[in-house]
């Protein structure tokens, strides 16, 4: 793939050292997906942003450096100390605050954030119908929740309906993946957000090709890259879903027993 295509599609992300990005992405290039998502958001300096499921926090660093927002970088699987060192290395310690915690046990005040951004991780916890009511209470009215993730172009109701190339791995890696329309309905029925975008990424093909290329050079096999490589019908793609917080109260306040 010509480098110019990537530079044109991702002018901000392309400025970052590709080896640094690859080393600290936990899947496809996290900055490509994030930049595609932020094209649909009006982020301004001084805004408070929750980067939920931030992984190794390079998405948080990107948000702080490119938009001047203040970011809380939350992930349960990556050490906050390790993330803090990466944040220090990039000179973002005044703008990015790492926390090691689970997505269902957040300590923030209600209506605290201007935006909640989730890159490549919402599918791990957000399929729960109770999750949007939970996370929505931390978002200011007219604030946004914005996710970018993988999706199917056709809903799968049972393992038997999975395409042949997914059959082997479906019940391990793919059973919680859905269509864009499935996600839209999940959010709309709560009344907690107004859907501003629910669509495939314009750059989905570039993200796919770059991911396959990256993992062909890795020694360890990657089930996701393998699936993308064998998906000749475009069954798997990437989407963004953005909701603006309404003033409706969220009645499911906590996951705590």
Alpha-carbon span 67 to 77, nearest angstrom: 26
Q: Which residues lie across from 152 on neighbouring strands?
A: 179, 236
Beta strands in 153-207 (DSSP E): 193-200
Rounded to 10 degrees, what is the CA torsion of 161, 166, 172, 176? -60
Alpha-carbon span 214 to 125, nearest angstrom: 27
Domain ranges of the chain: 3-245
Q: What pLDDT, on a 0 to 100 scale, did the predictor assign at position 255? A: 60
Alpha-carbon span 118 to 54, nearest angstrom: 7
Architecture in CATH for domain 3-245: 3-Layer(aba) Sandwich (3.40)
- Listed residue (255, 219, 209, 216) closest to 105, CA to CA: 255
Q: What pLDDT, on a 0 to 100 scale, did the predictor assign at position 223? A: 82
CA angle in degrees (0–180, nearest 5) for 137-142-148:
75
Q: What pLDDT, on a 0 to 100 scale, did the predictor assign at position 253? A: 54
Q: Which two tokens stand for residue 22?
A: 């690859």
Give Cβ neighbours of residue 1 (< 8 Å, ≥ 6 apart): 206, 209, 210, 213
Low-confidence ranges of the chain (pLDDT < 50): 1-4, 257
pTM: 0.94
**Can you tell me which residue has the tokens 């993730």?**
149
- Listed residue (73, 117, 114, 111) closest to 92, CA to CA: 73
Q: What pLDDT, on a 0 to 100 scale, did the predictor assign at position 3? A: 44
User: Are the C-beta atoms of residues 165 and 227 closer than 8 Å to each other?
Assistant: yes
Phi, psi dihedrals of residue 32, rounded to the nearest 5° = -65, -50
Alpha-carbon span 23 to 203, nearest angstrom: 21
CA angle in degrees (0–180, nearest 5) for 8-14-15:
125
Alpha-carbon span 134 to 255, nearest angstrom: 8
CA atoms within 13 A on the CB side of 226: 14
């Amino acid at each position: 793939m010509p480098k110019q295509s990537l530079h044109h599609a991702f002018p901000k992300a392309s400025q970052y050292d590709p080896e640094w990005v690859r080393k600290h992405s936990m899947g496809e290039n996290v900055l490509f997906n994030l930049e595609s998502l932020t094209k649909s958001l009006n982020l301004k300096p001084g805004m408070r942003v929750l980067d939920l499921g931030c992984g190794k926090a390079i998405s948080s660093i990107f948000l702080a450096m490119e938009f001047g927002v203040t970011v809380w970088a939350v992930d349960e699987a990556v050490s906050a100390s390790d993330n803090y060192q990466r944040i220090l290395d990039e000179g973002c310690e005044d703008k990015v605050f790492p926390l090691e915690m689970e997505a269902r046990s957040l300590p923030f005040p209600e209506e605290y954030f201007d935006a909640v951004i989730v890159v490549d991780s919402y599918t791990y916890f957000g399929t729960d119908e109770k999750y949007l009511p939970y996370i929505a209470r931390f978002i200011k009215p007219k604030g946004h929740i914005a996710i970018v993730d993988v999706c199917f172009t056709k809903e799968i109701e049972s393992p038997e309906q999975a395409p042949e190339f997914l059959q082997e791995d479906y019940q391990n890696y793919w059973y919680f993946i859905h269509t864009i329309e499935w996600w839209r309905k999940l959010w709309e029925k709560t009344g907690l957000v107004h859907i501003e975008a629910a669509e495939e990424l314009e750059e989905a093909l570039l993200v796919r090709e770059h991911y396959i290329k990256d993992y062909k050079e890795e020694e360890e096999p990657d089930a996701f890259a393998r699936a993308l490589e064998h998906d000749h019908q475009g069954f798997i793609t990437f989407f963004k879903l953005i909701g603006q917080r309404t003033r409706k109260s969220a009645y499911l306040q906590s996951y705590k027993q």
